Structure 1
Amino acid sequence: MLLRRRKPRTPHATLLAAAIAALLAVFTSVLGSPAAQADPAGHHAPRESRPVYSYKDAIRESVWVDTRLDGDGDGRTDRVAVDIVRPREPAQQGRRIPVIMDASPYYSCCGRGNESQKKTYDANGKPVQFPLFYDNYFVPRGYATVLVDLAGTNRSDGCVDIGGASDIQSAKAVVDWLNGRARAYTTRTGTRTTTASWSNGATGMIGKSYDGTVANGVAATGVKGLKTIVPIGAISSWYDYYFAKGAPLYDGGPDGLSDAVESPEARARCGAVQQKLVEGAPRTGDWTPLWTARDYTANVSKVRASVFAVHGMQDLNVRMKHLGQWWDGLADAGVERKIWLSQTGHVDPFDFRRAEWVRTLHRWFDHYLLGVDNGIEREPMADIERAPDRWSTDKVWPAEGIKTTTLHPRPGTAAGVGDLGTDPAAPGSSAVFTDDPAHSEADWAKRIDTATPDKAGFSTPVLKEDLRLSGSSRVTVTATPSTSSAHLTAVLVDLGPDTIRDYTADGEGIRTRTDRTCWGSSTTGDSACFKATEADTANVDYTVVSRGWADLGNHADEGHGGPLTPGTPYTITLDLAATDHVVPAGHRLALIIGGTDAGLIEPPASTPRLTIDLTRTSADLPLVGGAPVLAGSSLPAADGPLKGVGVPRRSVLLH
């Protein structure tokens, strides 16, 4: 027998050196060489991924991922459509790349972004236009962009279930596929499978509104491979999108949203799912199993991904309560996180702080998906907009030095407005108002210093120094109704002149211009250039800081309500949305208690007269520095109404 000599083993050190060299080659091709990083002064800028790959020659393809669910009951598991654009060169070089994913129900019905962009396809069904800038900017930098049609929308099977198992599994199954744990097919109905051999499994989910909500939900499953999420104006509990402690928020239920986003095929076959949405979300505001299945805060401890959250502090679509409770849960779970809070309504940061957003998002994804040590996780946690286009930073959020301070409303000496301070009201003190469903927080605030029959208003003296609220507030009210049903609203107001973003205008704080700015590479069918925006401002005499609502019938159980006994006092606590607001020296802080907040909550079945027991009514506020900063002097009542902004009617659509 002829014996062959064994080749000598390669020493471990040699293997390690080769592996390191290969890894360095990868990073050098994407991040650039150290020499290329140096600035003219000789300093080295932070490493970052560079646009070294061809966007024009990128691979554009579609696959259908098996969700392992059968939402439409047709006897086969639902497949969701996944459109992918990725650079061609890494696969040719045998290298795998990370993924930026946006899972949405809006790619065909309503569009994404300020210009309502939709997916487009060529005659063969190959994807052409990917909405938003993520593909244009990040694909040349070595990322794949993956856009998922949620079940029941666009080119996907199944039914829309508004935040339930179908929505979340639509996106989670794609994360699993990217990590080799799920099956995908090259066509919607065929049998030919395909793998994500080009993916390294590291996935970051991003999206505004419904899309960001899905990112929250998927992160709450603890799925492996999801490295980071960037939820923008996102829901954390679907009950809180439609109700506030039993009080129905304006404009319908989940069945209406489902009907708006589902594909024609889903509309024809998903009647049973629609009926479950109707039955599971009664307008009584009672908590049902449907809401339990759509409460992501219950599983926030499972989140493995880092979180970069963005929210408008004047978002009256997805209110700041969603951000506040999600953020608190993330903090308790020790999740790495970052936050931007703007003065806008329901607006993407690409449209209120574009250049800084692209730069920061780039560094965030580079760190958490490419492993670049650029220091972003060591930078201040919070960026907060203090005035239109004027931002401050904080090491942590909520701010350091917060002391929960209890303020008490008291009858005042001025006609129309009571006092608000740290001393409790005298025994027997009360205030009376009658619910007027035609009036809103804006109507109440502009007449804070005038006695009106539809509200009870209370104000601090003029502040001698700035007063900062940072976090969530609670207002406890003891009220005696004259009828068997009553809704309550509590509003915090900064009384004083200011220039703010007009969050009640059509742009919710931004104005869209006709000129464009470009972010990344373009093709004939997919432009990287988007209309520029600017702040849309208003000069006001007051600013609503935060608000909260409740059905007084939920006094005993916030998840279940019942009829009231006229003439009987009831105590309930209203959760006010999280915020971060500075009431400047020279201004006053006001608390308004009213009934129906027109345009934001629906009125009760009756029109009650409510007597507020001021000795059992209080506000717990997160004040930086606590009570000492409240010292001030009295202020004469203002002459006539104050000037502010109105209240927009909330749309049935989230986007």
Structure 2
Amino acid sequence: MKKLILLLTIALTINSNAQEKAKPVFKNGEAQIVEAFSSPDKWLRHDLWVETEFDTDGDGKLDRMHVAVTRPDQTEKQGLKLPIIYVSSPYFAGVAPEVDGAFWNVKHELGEKTERPVHPEVVRRGKRPIISNSHIRKWVPRGYIVVHSSSPGTGLSQGAPTVGGDNESLAPKAVIDWLCGRIKGYTTPYGNETVTAFWSTGKVGMTGTSYNGTIPLAAATTGVKGLEAIIPIAPNTSYYHYYRSNGLVRSPGGYLGEDIDVLYDFIHSGDEAKRPYNNKTVRDTEMLNNMDRVTGDYNDFWAGRDYLNDMKPMKAALLMSHGFNDWNVMPEHSYRIYKRAKEMGIPAQIFYHQNGHGGPPPIKMMNRWFTRYLHGIKNDVENDKRAWIVREDDKRTEPTAYNEYPNPEAKEVVFHLGKDGLKTGKLKLKKNSKKIRETLTDDYNFSGKQLAKASESKNRLLYVTPILKEDIHISGVPSITVKIASSKPAANLSIWLVSLPWNDTNNAKITDNIITRGWADIQNHKSLRKSNPLKPGKFYEMTFDLQPDDQIIKKGQQIGLMIFSSDSQFTLLPKPGTELTVDLKDTKLTLPIIGGTKQIKKSY
């Protein structure tokens, strides 16, 4: 009897211990917060270096990336293996200070060479083993391990920052290869003692915002095995589209005069001894010789920093997130990648909100995405609606689901321009039967907002619809065809689509009235790769897209098309006085509208 009791006691103890082993818990297709994973004092945090396949700092040794791991202690004590949420960034170790002259001078004529900006130095910050605390409290309690790494040439990662070069794709690939047991990690930057990711299931997801959102896409374009899903938030997917627009030298919103070399200096927080070599080879040779700030033309340098061109190997399930009023990394960046992913048959969804830069999808969406592709729980997320749009008056966490973006019910409607654009011309459905030409005079001293609000101005042309009798829902990518002549060999061309009257209440956001925008260099009317000086007075025709949008313009408002030259927040600022003449007969605006022409006619 005593022997039987002893055996039962042992069995109950073993069973009790087995029950005490923590594991991920799922409900309604989402990973739940597990109490055993939720105590930060029980998390294990350590760092290491992963060797890559490149040497970009010229020391004759393969560059190693600094990696930090945060995991529940059950991965050490109980042999628990978990999937990974991985975040990489060039910003974790600090950025360059604000100094005078660090941005390019923008007050000069188009095509004119100017002096290079000042190059500030970054003082690295941060202590081992913590690279960052981002995302840890969100994902570790839900049964994930969170991994951070500093990108090449930043923090304690070796190499050189290249701002979109191949090493910024291969660096996260190497970390994922290590997480999947394919390559070695080391306990020190230059030593030979190895460390393994024995706690990894080999299933990795990536996320991050802005540059941190670009890196997941960069990693995915390598086709690395084990990267199952990515959630890029407001990612820069093409550095040409970030610093240029249809051949025009154009700054990202809020950073007038920034260019790719400025961003390089901003993030270069790596080994100070390696910086002179990196500066010479990357910034002063590759970037400054190829970025072509004089013409703004597209070339192989920019093509190599456009992730759309690298997507063929990509397999990771894609959930994109962006704001329609993001005038820093503009909404086209996510749409172009989402569109290609769909064409490739990659599981893809897109989340758009009405605010500015940043803004992740609701945690429920992210949770379902990672639960499906990292934990393998069949929650049917791949059959959810593809598009999630936050409507104008809704909270960002409460998007409306649509079958697709652009909305399949949207049809193209072509608008033509009536006379009197210096005051307020008509935006109409019927094309002009006669040639009408109207001329504006460039002057960057007037902001776009001032021009749109003005009842009359010689510095812009404005064409508006009648006051809308019905709501108009725009969904997709508007485009414009302009037939235009310049009084000079080069000129800025800026387009705003606005909702009027302008809302100047205290509660209004700066972007409330801006529906979408676009910019172009008329010299590139035939080719992005080759611009040709304009013959003063000669008319040229150019068609280009504005930024994607999904917005409901309420009845009682008017939709206005504004054509002007220099945009004080975005373009170069040449001496005022350039004249642009628009041929109204052959200029047209195309808008994707739910219900098409029929809906517009109801609203007129």
- Which category describes the TM-score, using the shorter chain as reference length? 0.7 to 0.9
Q: Per-residue CA shift, 1:78-110, capped at 9, x if unaligned?
A: 111011111121343334211111110000114
Contact 1:245-1:559 within 8 A present in 2 as well: no
Correspondence for 1:139: 140
Counterpart Cα distance in 1 of 2:325 and 2:162: 28
Q: Counterpart of 1:273?
A: 282
Deviation by residue 1:451-483 (Cα, 9 ceiling, x = unmatched): 211111111112222111111111111101111
After TM superposition, the structure 1 stretch with the greater mean CA deviation from structure 2, 323-332 or 565-574, is 323-332
Q: Is the 8 A contact 2:49 2:66 kept in 1?
A: yes
Equivalents in 1 of 2:334, 2:460: separation in Å?
28
For residue 448 of structure 2, what is the aligned residue in structure 1?
441
2:492 to 487, 494, 512: 487
Q: Residues of 1 paired with 2:176 and 2:547: CA distance?
A: 32
Aligned length: 546
CA offsets per residue over residues 46-83 of structure 1, 9 Å max, x none? Answer: 55343232432222111111111110111111111011
* Residue identity in the other structure for 1:580: D
Structure-1 residue corresponding to 2:101:
none
Question: Helix, strand or coil: the match of 1:538?
Answer: coil
Provide the C-alpha distance between the structure 2 equivalents of 1:541 and 1:347, rounded to a whole number of angstroms. Answer: 15
Letter of the 2:522 counterpart: L
Instruction: Report the alpha carbon displacement of residue 297 of structure 1 after superposing the two structures with TM.
Output: 1.0
Aligned to 1:333, which of 329, 333, 344?
344
Which of the numbers 578, 584, 592 marks the counterpart of 1:622? 592
Q: Could you say which residue in structure 2 is the equivalent of 1:575?
A: 545
Deviation at residue 147 of structure 1 after TM alignment: 0.6
Q: SS at 1:229's partner residue?
A: strand
Pair 321,457 (structure 1): closer, same or farther in 2 beyond 3 Å: same
2:441 and 2:580 in contact (8 A); partners too: yes
**2:84–2:203 Cα contact (<8 Å) kept:** yes
Tell me how far 1:289 sits from its aligned partner: 1.7
Tell me, in whole angstroms, the C-alpha distance in 2 between the residues paired with 1:177 and 1:25: 32
Per-residue deviation, residues 528-550 of structure 1 (Å, max 9, x unmatched): xxxxxxxxx41789611110101
> Which residue in the other structure is 2:118 paired with?
none
Alignment partners' CA distance in 1, 2:191 and 2:583: 68
Aligned position for 1:359: 364
CA distance in structure 2 between the partners assigned to 1:256 and 1:396 by the alignment: 37
What secondary structure is seen at the aligned counterpart in 1 of 2:164? coil
Name the CA shift for 1:142/1:392 in 2 (closer, same or farther; >3 Å): closer
Aligned to 1:29: 23
Aligned to 2:572: 602
Amino acid at match of 2:129: K
Match of 1:457 among 458, 462, 482: 462
Segments of 5+ residues of structure 2 without an aligned counterpart are 1-17, 97-123, 252-256
Partners of 2:125 and 2:155 within 8 A in 1 = no
Q: Describe the shift of the 1:95–1:248 C-alpha distance in structure 2 as closer, same or farther (beyond 3 A).
A: same
Indicate yes or no: 2:389 matched with 1:384: yes
Match of 1:514 in 2: none
| Structure 1 counterpart of 2:239 | 238
Following superposition, the deviation at residue 321 of structure 1 comes to 1.8
Classify 1:57/1:184 alpha carbon distance in 2 versus 1 (closer, same or farther; 3 Å). same
Following the alignment from structure 2 to structure 1, what is the Cα–Cα distance between the partners of residues 158 and 291? 24
Distance 1:223 1:418 in 2: 54
Query: Structure 1 residue 359: deviation in Å?
Result: 3.3
Equivalent residue number for residue 68 of structure 1:
53
CA deviations over 1:105-128 (Å, ceiling 9, x no partner): 0001149xxxxxx9843xxx332x
Q: 1:604 to 1:331 in 2, by over 3 A?
A: farther
CA distance in 1, matches of 2:561, 2:422: 16
CA–CA distance in 1 between the matches of 2:296 and 2:20?
55
Q: Give the secondary structure class of the aligned counterpart of 1:621.
A: strand
Cα pair 1:409 1:614 within 8 Å, conserved: yes
Are 1:419 and 2:430 counterparts?
Answer: no
Secondary structure at the aligned position of 1:291 is classed as helix
Out of 465, 470, 487, the residue aligned to residue 475 of structure 2 is: 470
SS at match of 2:508: strand
> What code does the residue aligned with 2:85 have?
I
The AA in structure 2 aligned to 1:131 is: N
C-alpha spacing 1:425/1:603, structure 2 compared with 1 (3 Å):
farther
Question: Does 2:404 correspond to 1:404?
Answer: no
Instruction: Return the alpha-carbon distance in structure 1 between the equivalents of residues 481 and 358 of structure 2.
Output: 31
Whole-Å separation in 1 of the counterparts to 2:603 and 2:80: 68
Alpha-carbon distance in structure 1 between the residues aligned to 2:184 and 2:230: 23
Residue 58 of structure 1 aligns with which residue? 43
Deviation at 1:607, TM superposition (A): 4.2
Equivalent in 360, 364, 377 of residue 372 of structure 1:
377
Asked if 1 retains the 8 angstrom alpha-carbon contact of 2:82 and 2:199, the reply is yes
Q: Is the 8 A contact 2:411 2:595 kept in 1?
A: yes
- Residue identity over aligned pairs, in percent, reads 32
Q: CA deviation at 1:387?
A: 2.6
Residue in 1 that maps onto 2:68 = 83
Cα offset for 1:396?
A: 1.9
Tell me the equivalent position of 1:18: none
Task: Please tell me the root mean square deviation across aligned C-alpha atoms, in Å.
Answer: 2.6
Q: Is the 8 A contact 2:441 2:579 kept in 1?
A: yes
Is 1:282 paired with 2:282? no
Asked if the contact 2:443/2:575 (under 8 Å) is kept, the reply is: no
Q: 8 Å contact 1:497–1:540 — kept in the other structure?
A: no
SS of match in other structure, 2:24: helix
Distance (whole Å) between structure 2 residues aligned to residue 199 and residue 574 of structure 1: 47
Match status 1:296 vs 2:299: no
Contact preservation (8 Å) 2:217, 2:307: yes
Residue 255 of structure 1 is matched in structure 2 by 261
Pick the structure with more strand per residue: 1
What is the aligned partner in structure 1 of residue 533 from structure 2?
A: 563
- Say if 1:483 and 1:607, in contact at 8 Å, map to a contact too: no
SS in 1 for 2:327: coil
**1-side partners of 2:462 and 2:21: how far apart?**
61
Mapped partners of 2:205, 2:327: distance in 1 = 27
1:324 aligns to what?
335
TM-score calculated relative to the size of structure 1: 0.78
TM-score by length of 2: 0.85
Q: Which segment is superposed worse, 609-618 or 263-272? A: 263-272
Report which stretch shifted further, 491-500 or 191-200: 491-500
Where does residue 177 of structure 1 map in the other structure? 178
- CA distance in structure 2 between the partners assigned to 1:401 and 1:291 by the alignment: 35
Residue pair 1:486, 1:607 contacting (<8 A) in 2 also:
no
Q: Which residue of 2 aligns with 1:97?
A: 82
CA drift of 1:551 comes to 0.9
Matching of residues 126-165 of structure 1 within 5 Å: 126-127=129-130, 130-132=132-134, 134-165=135-166
